[in-house]
A and B are shown apart, each in its own frame.
Chain A
Amino acid sequence: MQLETLVSQFQDKNEKAFESLYKMYSKSMHGVIYNIVRDNDLAEEVMQDVFIKAWNNSASYTAQKGRFFTWILNIARNAAIDKTRSKAFKNSKKNLQADFFVDILESNDNLNEQTNSIGIKKFVDKLAQKCIEVIELLYFKGFTQKEASETLDMPIGTIKTRNRNCINELRIMLDVK
């Protein structure tokens, strides 16, 4: 089924379409959230809240704003960052690891059929530090290109091309050419 149709049905409060989208993106959202909060149970809780929020605010999504995946990815990153700003979270996690998502990928043995585990492992092994940083900021942290440019102290054009090359590497490893 076309993704557009699925999203449209989801916006019409079709539970089947909701479930399909959940199956497609819940693990990704959990990965992004987990990378930020670094607590599996908490990440699961936030991820569920993200889908609840998506269901309740489905009408606010329009294709003009971007991809559905990107829309829900934004919700997930914001929800996770909000969580890290909460008092309870700060009290329990005083020193958040400065680790990047790659550390999770390296130690993660819970890769299922959805994720090309061999490809991911190969990608991580080959991944240059410059790729790790840019992917971390753009996809896992939701930085704008301008913010990433400032954080990494490099021009926006460089960020764009470097990111492009890194994602190409990933696609080759995952066989998504």
Chain B
Amino acid sequence: MTNKEYIESGILELYIAGSLSDAENKAVYDKLLTNPDLLDEVLKIEAAIVQLTAAASPSDTQHLFKAVKTKLGLDDKHETKVVPLHEPKTNWLAYSGWAASIVLAGGLIYLLNQQNALKTNIQTVKTELQEKTIDNTLLEERITTATANLTEAQKLLSVIRDKNIVSIPLSGQAVSPEAYATVYWDKNANNIYLDVQGLPEPPAGKVYQVWSLTLNPLAPTSLGTIDDFANNETKIFTIENANASEAFGITLEPEGGSTSPTMEQLYTLGAVSS
């Protein structure tokens, strides 16, 4: 079969249409490999069919290639950089930036609150500690006072019980008949312990003054004034007394005391019994 006859048979048009069997296709292909005239004819038929079929398309398909590539994951670098990747990238950055800022701000506020809470706690603890310290100090003072009081009481008790100590009751006189006092005289120690529990509180500007008396002749010797009468809870005062006293008297005198007793203001008086 000549080339012309082969072409005129119409087999090449069917070859392009895909209407031949596999064996026929293979036979045409083998001929085309060795016969450039046949191949040229095939290319022309194909070109005409491509145009004819394209003419049946009411669409411009060129722009759809992008979508094909996208579906295949073949997005070319140029487009992906400009359109789908770049924008979300900046957006993502911006969003994450904002998110980070919010988280940071939230964290800072939280930390500030925590710090304030801690400060308050510390202040509270400090205050409590101070209160505790004050309480402790007060307690210590009380203990000290109590201890001192106890010591005082024990001393008084020992004084009262001491056989060497002479007890002299001082009875109330005309100016204050209800008044009384007691002198405990430790002759060895040259001390008197004066208990003035039974005396009224002296008026302002006045103090009690203690006198040691000899009766024959009657001569008073001042043992001093009781300046802190109001503040002494036990109302027992220790006073030095090296005199050979025969009696003790207490008068109310102006502040600072007097050189001789004001007899009109003699509150208590008592003689040493032996």
Give A contacts to B, CB under 8 Å.
Answer: 15, 18-19, 22-32, 34-35, 40, 43-44, 47-48, 51-52, 55-56, 63-67, 69-71, 73-74, 101, 104-105, 108, 110-112, 114-117, 119-120, 123, 135, 138-140, 142-145, 148, 160-164, 167, 170-171, 174, 176-177
Q: Interface residues of B, CB < 8 Å — how many?
A: 47
Closest 5 CB pairs of A and B: A31-B56, A164-B10, A160-B10, A31-B57, A28-B53
A23 nearest CB neighbor, chain B only: B62
Nearest CB on A from B2, distance (A): 16
Q: Which of A32, A48, A142 contacts B67 (CB 8 A)?
A: A48
Verify A142–B18 contact, CB threshold 8 A: yes
Chain A residues positioned under 8 Å from B74 (CB to CB): 15, 18
- The distance in angstroms between the C-alpha atoms of A140 and B29, with both chains bound, is 23
Chain B interfacial positions (CB closer than 8 Å to A)? 8-11, 13-22, 25-26, 28-29, 42, 44-62, 64-65, 67-69, 71-72, 74, 76
B17 — which chain A residues lie within 8 A by C-beta? 70, 138-139, 142, 163
Q: Is the Cβ of A28 less than 8 Å from the Cβ of B58?
A: no
Known A114-B51, A170-B48; contact A32-B56, beta-carbon cutoff 8 A: yes
CB of B14 within 8 A of CB of A34, answer: no
Residue of A30, A66, A162 touching B59 (CB-CB under 8 A): A30
Other A-B contacts than A163-B10, A167-B48, 20 sampled, CB-CB below 8 A, are A30-B59, A31-B56, A34-B58, A40-B59, A44-B61, A47-B61, A67-B15, A69-B49, A70-B17, A101-B56, A105-B56, A108-B57, A123-B52, A138-B13, A144-B21, A148-B19, A164-B10, A170-B48, A171-B48, A174-B47
